[in-house]
Amino acid sequence: MIVLRLPGGLSLRLRPRALVVGLAGTLLALGLAVLAVGAGDYPIAPADVLRVLAGGGSPADRFIVTELRLPRLATALAAGAALGLAGAVFQSLTRNPLGSPDVLGVTSGAATGALTVVVVGGGSAALAGAAAAGGLATGLLLYALAGRHGVGGHRLVLVGIGVTAILTGVNGWLLTRAPLMDAARAALWITGSLDGRGWANALPVLGALAVLLPAVLLARAPALRLLEMGDDSAAGLGVPVRRVRAAALGSAVLLVSVAAAAAGPVSFLALTAPHLARRLTRAPGPNLLPSAVVGAALLLAADQLAQHAVAGRQLPVGVVTGVLGGGYLAWLLAGERGGRR
């Protein structure tokens, strides 16, 4: 722990290791992004990519970079960061390493919203809006059922698993009701995919991050850390427990909802990113910023794998995050059971 003291009584406390992880993760994500923009059927050298980003480059390069590839990358980075951040907040609030928005039903709720639009009919804007609304409604339901008494993690996880089960059933029913063509589109959406994403998909997530990252991260991180010691301890130290929990839960649900609206309910990312971040920083507490950075890098990397791993055939990114994230988690838990930490 290093302490930075500035004149005027200002002081900041920083963990060097968390700082290094955050910076390295950011550089890695940005470096990957430059390579990713260049990769594809029309390869562009990294130097040309940088030239375009700096405002130059040939008209063809410019079009491909800014209109075709950059929006998809921005969507991947923003949705990954949003999911990583939301996952960290959820795991901290539930005091449970498995208490992620996928397990608690928020992403299933977003899927229900999207599927309803598929059945009823509507464009991609309506689909994204309905997905966000579905996630938010599920978040409200969770809070009404479990957050009311100021009750912590345990109850939220149990209620969430119940809500997930119900929504999975509803989603299955909706899929059988959808016309065949639409059912294929819906199945793709449910898996989570970044295919053909434009700026209209990326901007809402970037906007939500720009507002909620400072609001959740800077203002609430110390209180969230104290909440991990139990409601009573936190209250004794002067944390307004209910208000902090409601604000943090609300922000996390909003982030998951807009991320799902943009990229679909990408599985396992919100669960895996905070675990990986904590392993890297070795710091107690929610590890919010490292989780966001790791989430962004992971989703970007997974999307590149999805596009280029199988030659001539693109996979939905949710397949990659599901297989890799699930595998990583199983390996992690098996290792912990064996006493490694």
Tell the smallest beta-carbon distance from residue 211 to another protein (Å). 17
Tell the smallest beta-carbon distance from residue 207 to another protein (Å). 23
Rounded Cα distance between 244 and 100, Å, is: 18
Sign of CA dihedral 315, 319, 323, 325: positive
Q: Is 238 left (phi over 0), alpha (psi -120 to 50) or beta?
A: left
Cβ distance to another protein smaller for residue 18 or 239: 239
Site residues for another protein per CB under 8 A: 1, 3, 5, 9-13, 95, 218-219, 222, 225-226, 228-233, 235-241, 282, 284-285, 341
Cβ distance to another protein smaller for residue 182 or 228: 228
Tell the smallest beta-carbon distance from residue 224 to another protein (Å). 11
Tell the smallest beta-carbon distance from residue 226 to another protein (Å). 6
Tell the smallest beta-carbon distance from residue 209 to another protein (Å). 20
CB 251 within 8 A of CB 130: no
Cβ distance to another protein smaller for residue 229 or 333: 229
Cβ distance to another protein smaller for residue 34 or 235: 235
Contacting residues for 47 by C-beta, under 8 A, at least 6 apart: none
Cβ distance to another protein smaller for residue 75 or 91: 91
Name the residue with tokens 């003291």: 5
Locate 250 and state its tokens: 């609300």
Rounded Cα distance between 285 and 170, Å, is: 36
Rounded Cα distance between 244 and 264, Å, is: 28
Cβ distance to another protein smaller for residue 169 or 214: 214
- Quote helix, strand, coil % in the chain, to nearest 5: 75, 5, 20
Name the residue with tokens 């375009």: 52
Radius of gyration of the chain (CA): 20
Polymer length of the chain: 341
Tell the smallest beta-carbon distance from residue 234 to another protein (Å). 9
